[in-house]
Amino acid sequence: MPGPLPPSASVPVPTPAPKAAVLAGLRARIRRLEGIGGAADGRVLPFGVAGIDDALPEGGLPPGCLHELMAGDDPGAGTAFAAALLARLARAGSGPAVWIVRGRDLHAPGLAAYGLGPERLIAVRVRRDAEALWAMEEALRCRAVSAVLGEVGRTDLTAGRRLQLAAEAGGVTGLLLPREEPRGAGAAVTRWRIAAVPGVPPAGEPGVGPARWRVELLRCRGGRPGAWVVEWRDGAFEAVDPVIGAERPPQALARSA
């Protein structure tokens, strides 16, 4: 048996992990249990708008999950905002984005203005909700694409869970653009409401100015609901004075836009 330690010897005491590291590890475990795959390893997509990023867990939109974008009576606003968000996801990913279209063609010049050129986008045209949901689920499981956007009428909880599981399995971000208000909480990790806000041209210049939206976070696991006014400028979202978006209710803003 080894003898006693000499008086000068000391037994090393394990150094406790920093509190920040412990909290980060616990958050990652919770995110994995909640099915929020991409954020578990620290990867998020920041909006670049401090108010929105502060309201989201980990400081950005978690990838590898399902997100709902609702536009209500102003589908054009939802489509434009979805195009801008999809372009950012495509730039951040390693493959093209997939847009599942319901019975119409996409406006290529309009998409290009948001950075969605033909080299970054695959369009899939369908006629029925069942076809859109099937195509979206299959695309979400494909690791060769960066993000998938699907236009549907309305999804139930079962369909939403299938899409969320497919996004987790493929590590691909899914954006759901419903034409009808979803019922219940749903399976998406975040739910947003998008409304158009009149643009303001630069001083002394004609035109309507950059695209603007009132972006409202309705539901987010571990996040804080809120509303912000943002505009699209030079390929990025920029914050606008919240007073502009709060002067009138979203319905009036959408009609005026």
Task: Give the count of beta carbons closer than 10 Å to the beta carbon of residue 9.
Answer: 7
Give the pLDDT confidence score for residue 180 in this predicted structure. Answer: 80
Angle, vertex CA 166, rays to CA 72 and CA 79, nearest 5: 25
Give the pLDDT confidence score for residue 234 in this predicted structure. Answer: 86
- Distance, CA of 75 to CA of 128 (rounded, Å): 18
- This prediction has a pTM of 0.77
- Distance, CA of 83 to CA of 203 (rounded, Å): 27
Tokens of 219: 């539901």
Please list, in sequence order, all residues whose beta carbon lies within 8 angstroms of the beta carbon of residue 210, skipping any fewer than 6 positions away: 199, 231, 232, 233
Largest CA distance in the chain: 90
Instruction: Enumerate the domain spans of the chain.
Output: 47-256
Q: What is the CATH number that goes with domain 47-256?
A: 3.40.50.300
Give the pLDDT confidence score for residue 24 in this predicted structure. Answer: 47
Torsion of CA 160, 161, 162, 168, to 10 degrees: 110
**Could you read off the pLDDT tens digit of each residue along the chain, which spans 257 residues?**
555 555 555 555 556 556 655 554 555 454 544 545 544 455 789 999 999 999 998 899 999 999 999 987 788 899 999 999 999 999 888 799 999 998 777 888 889 989 898 889 999 999 999 999 999 999 999 999 999 999 998 788 899 999 999 999 999 999 999 988 777 778 899 999 999 998 877 776 776 788 899 999 999 988 999 999 999 988 899 998 654 433 334 443 333 33
